[in-house]
Amino acid sequence: MSYGYTTRIDSLNQKADQSLLGVRLGRVCIDNDVSVTEMASQLGVSRQTIYNWFVGFHEPNNELTAYVEALISEYK
């Protein structure tokens, strides 16, 4: 099933600092067609928070860092 990330989100993610954890998570989700809703549910945050991470506006807090890193590894 395609979750149809918009070209805007894809473009913003590609232009963002790829060293940021949230941006890397975004790239993995976009490349593997993992929905924002699914990721938000797994991490216990809002969909808007996930979008903000994907484009580099904010980063996951320290309590979520290890879990986000594990998710990135799982999907790679």
pLDDT value at residue 1: 44
Domain chopping of the chain, boundaries: 22-75
Six token digits for residue 41: 């549910």
pLDDT value at residue 3: 58
pLDDT at 68 over 50: yes
pLDDT tens column, 16-67: 999 999 999 999 999 999 999 999 999 999 999 999 999 999 999 999 999 9
pLDDT value at residue 13: 96
| 66 CB burial (10 A radius; 0-12, 13-18, 19+) | exposed
pLDDT value at residue 74: 93
What DSSP character marks residue 55? T
